[in-house]
Amino acid sequence: MKRKRLFLAALSVTLAGCGEQVAPPARIEQPVLTQVVGASASAGSFSYSGEVRARHETALGFRIGGKIVARLVDAGAAVKAGQVLARLDPADAALQASQAEAQWRLAEDEAKRFRDLRSSNFISQSALDAKETALKAAQAQAGLARNQAAYTRLLADHDGVITAVLAEPGQVVSAGQPVFRLAQKGEREVAISVPESQVGMLKIGAPAEVTLWVGDTEAAPLQGRLRELAPAADPASRTYPARVALTDANMRWALGMTARVRFTGGAGDTSLILPLSAIFQQGDQPAVWIVAADHSVQLRPVKVTAFRDDGALIGSGLAAGERIVSAGVHKLTAGEKIRPIEAASTR
């Protein structure tokens, strides 16, 4: 009897337990890649490698054609204004000058004879005027021939450094063909190339920091500004040549040295750059997922001012310091809680 009562008690406990509702298992929070947004100037993050160049560079060539018989300087030579750099064969120019001088003397004798005839009234004034005109033309031709004889010497027009030699002795060159490239003494600039995706972000006069490398030591940054930006891209590289003027350059830095240019942008520019994978497109409206303190996510519309190779430039709708979802944005729902995985901050 006692054993039967124990059995009935155990059975009642079992039946009571079967009547209770079993709690559903807790939902597993999915891991999601996130990152904290940081402020970035729209042009401040742009950095380029460049080369130190002279502000003024001149291609020097002879004013007449001929055969080069002497080259008196090499690349890298420091030259002074008026210094002879190369010579042409002067034989032809000397013959032309002699011919012009002979024509001038002949015209001068003719004019003198006609003046005597005119004074005796043997010829008309118009005949004398024709000879006077011929004399002036011969005189001018003789002067031109003398000048051309002097053009067989190529002179430096400014103080500077020869950066390239483009012709050698024995070579026949035409008038104006470059023989030397001269970097004039004075201002220094950094030549850079700007990619197509960033050319619209830079403006003439934009401030920049220029870092030059001297040996193995990085020199102190110099202040510069964007002086020139080409209106057309280079057909080979598809980049836009630009020049950054150095406002406080030291002349001890040699031409051709490597430099790094970083545009600092303007004050108050708080544009943000997000990875393209963080943009969630809702029709025509881009948005991003914002991660709250409790790890829940909410979708927020933003204004994208430009899509670039390095990300999307955000104009409004987002503040620096907020955490966003940087990948997997199409797998989330509003209010869902996630397990954030830290990624590198945006620039």
With contact defined as beta carbons under 8 Å apart, do 177 and 171 qualify? no
| E strand or H helix at 314 | strand 311-316
Q: Which of 4-18, 100-114, 270-284, 320-334 has the highest mean pLDDT?
A: 100-114
Residue 208 near residue 262, CB atoms below 8 Å: yes
Residue 327 has pLDDT above 70, yes or no: yes
Count CB atoms within 10 A of the CB of residue 74: 8
Number of C-beta neighbours around residue 297 at 10 A:
24
Q: pTM for this structure?
A: 0.56
* CB 246 within 8 Å of CB 210: yes
Q: How far is CA 219 from CA 69, 213, 250, 252, in A?
A: 44, 6, 11, 12
- Tens of pLDDT, residue by residue over 272-311, are 778 888 888 877 889 998 999 888 999 999 888 777 666 7
CATH fold label, 58-88+155-182: OB fold (Dihydrolipoamide Acetyltransferase, E2P) (2.40.50)
pLDDT tens-digit map of 187-200: 889 999 998 877 87
CA separation for the pair 17, 197 (Å, rounded): 69
What does the pLDDT read at residue 283?
A: 78
- Per domain, the residue ranges of the chain are 30-40+270-342, 47-55+186-263, 58-88+155-182, 91-150
pLDDT of residue 48: 87
Whether the pLDDT of residue 229 is over 90: the answer is yes
CATH architecture of 47-55+186-263: Beta Barrel (2.40)
173-186 pLDDT, tens per residue?
999 999 999 998 88
What CATH number does the domain located at 91-150 have?
A: 1.10.287.470
Q: Is the pLDDT of residue 268 over 50?
A: no
Q: Specify whether domain 30-40+270-342 bears CATH 2.40.420.20.
A: yes
Query: Which amino acid appears at position 192 of this protein?
Result: I
